[in-house]
Amino acid sequence: MARRVFKPDCGPRDQAPTIGAGDGEGHEGQELKPWRTEEPTIFRVPEVIRCGGGGGEAYEPSIISFGPYHRSEPHLRAMDKLKPQYLQRFVARTMPRKTLEECRSYFRTVERRARTAYSETLATGSDEFVDMMLYDGCFVVELFLSLTDRQEGRGQEMDDGEEHDPIFSSAWAEYYLRLDMLLLENQLPLFFLGICSVSLTPKAASS
């Protein structure tokens, strides 16, 4: 009996990027230059798993995006308006106090390492990529610090004079946020979060 081959068909999706002349494809007489020097750590969910696991929705964020894979999806843009608020709160914790431009300049020095953490070649421009990592990375660290503040009874003091935070004012938002942070395609490089929490030395992170 012939073996049946499973061919998943979940509808059209963006094709995986091809490697072109600018991505390390050499011509005759030219030395091959790899487009990455480190192994990636953040991957897309394979199609065979995505199709066999009840549809792609199970692997896609519901309310917030981290990193480049889902940041352009319309239903996630509402939470992007909250990221500047979290960045402002994070910068206020740094000691000595740093400006936003100082943070951006520092993150730019590790841009290439952050890019190679993703398995796909990213077409995002340098300034856009650095800002994305800055806002997303500081959001994650500030979220953990804010949770700690609330657990230790400092939440009301932190909220005085601040813009409304929908994450902590509704149980459903925090619930779905936690789920989105666990998704394979919705991750940030771990070393980058370490830079946010240690190299910028927020006061709460050092305690």
> The pTM is what?
0.75
In the predicted model, what is the mean pLDDT of residues 11-35?
44
Q: Of the given ranges (8-12, 18-22, 96-100), which has the lowest mean pLDDT?
A: 18-22
3-class DSSP state of 41: coil
Read off φ and ψ for residue 202, nearest 5 degrees.
-60, 145
Q: Does the pLDDT at position 155 exceed 80?
A: no
Contact (Cβ atoms closer than 8 angstroms) between residue 36 and residue 116: yes
- What are 75-121's pLDDT values in tens digits? 999 999 999 999 999 988 887 888 899 989 989 999 999 999 999 99
Q: Show the 3-state SS of 66-96.
A: CCCCCCCCHHHHHHHCCHHHHHHHHHHHECC
Q: What angle do CA 194, 200, 204 make, to 5 degrees?
A: 85
CA distance 79 to 24: 37
Read off φ and ψ for residue 78, nearest 5 degrees.
-60, -40
| Confidence class for position 58, pLDDT limits 50, 70, 90 | confident
